[in-house]
Structure 1
Amino acid sequence: MKQAIVARTDIGMGQGKLAAQVAHASLRAYEDTDATAQREWKGEGGKKIVLKGESESQLQELADLARREGLPYSLVRDAGHTQLEPGTVTALAVGPGPENIVDKVTGDLSLF
């Protein structure tokens, strides 16, 4: 079991903003996961990785693929209070779910 969080690299988020967006995505996807998968993922240490995303369209495509694979996911849109325009897509969490299925969605991306 693992979770992959894809954060955009093309919008110039500061490190703190990036960390907050990754956390939002991770928590929201976890909350959409069924209780059995939540327990299994937490019991295995809550494995997660952060990956580089290059555009909003890429994150949208990955979200569609996650949905088709039956994985929980969360696409985060910024509220626009600080660095970004309201509604800017910043991050996507995929999973937690079986590692091999999460990798089908995000396995070609580079580590952040």
Structure 2
Amino acid sequence: MKQVICMRHDLKMRRGKQIAQGAHASMAFLCDKLADKGTISLDDFSEAERTWLSGAFAKVCCRIDSDEELLDIHDKAIEAGLTVHLITDAGRTEFHGTPTRTCLAIGPDHAAKIDAITGHLQLL
């Protein structure tokens, strides 16, 4: 089980900004479930998510070189039935006030399912 964070490298974000955006992406699947239900239990998660949550929280960070590539990976992951969270930064500290898509998280899910979409990507 793992989660893959795909980060736009073309934006030249500061390292701290990249880390914050990746953290937003990683936590989004938990936040969405909590927002939907108000409270959550392990029963609210898939088998893959429960395994990941009770294990080592494996995460892999990969490089994406454009907004188009980010959206292509997003669409392929959705088509494959994977959980995907796309992060758009508000632009208050970088990007000159323009909301900008920065990264996405795929999973957590079975590594083989995610690797079919992201296995070709370079590590960040």
Taking structure 1 as the reference length, the TM-score comes to 0.92
Paired-residue identity, %: 38
1:74 alignment partner in structure 2: 85
8 Å contact 1:38–1:96 — kept in the other structure?
yes
2:11 alignment partner in structure 1: 11
Q: Deviations over 1:22-70 (max 9, x none)?
A: 0111111344575133321122211111011100010101111111111
RMSD: 1.5
TM-fit CA distance, 1:86: 2.6
The aligned length equals 112
TM-fit CA distance, 1:80: 0.8
The answer to whether residue 83 in structure 2 is matched with residue 54 in structure 1 is: no
Separation in 2, partners of 1:30, 1:109:
25
Taking structure 2 as the reference length, the TM-score comes to 0.84
Structure with the higher fraction of residues in helix conformation: 2
1:44 alignment partner in structure 2: 55
2:119 alignment partner in structure 1: 107
- Secondary structure at 1:46 match in 2: coil
Q: Deviations over 1:62-82 (max 9, x none)?
A: 111111111101111111110
List structure 1 segments (4+ residues) > 3 angstroms apart after TM superposition: 29-34
Separation in 2, partners of 1:55, 1:29:
23
Any stretches of 5+ residues in structure 1 without a counterpart?
A: none
Q: Which moved more, 1:85-94 or 1:30-39?
A: 30-39
Q: 1:95 aligns with which of 107, 111, 116?
A: 107
Any stretches of 5+ residues in structure 2 without a counterpart?
A: 34-43
2:45 alignment partner in structure 1: 35
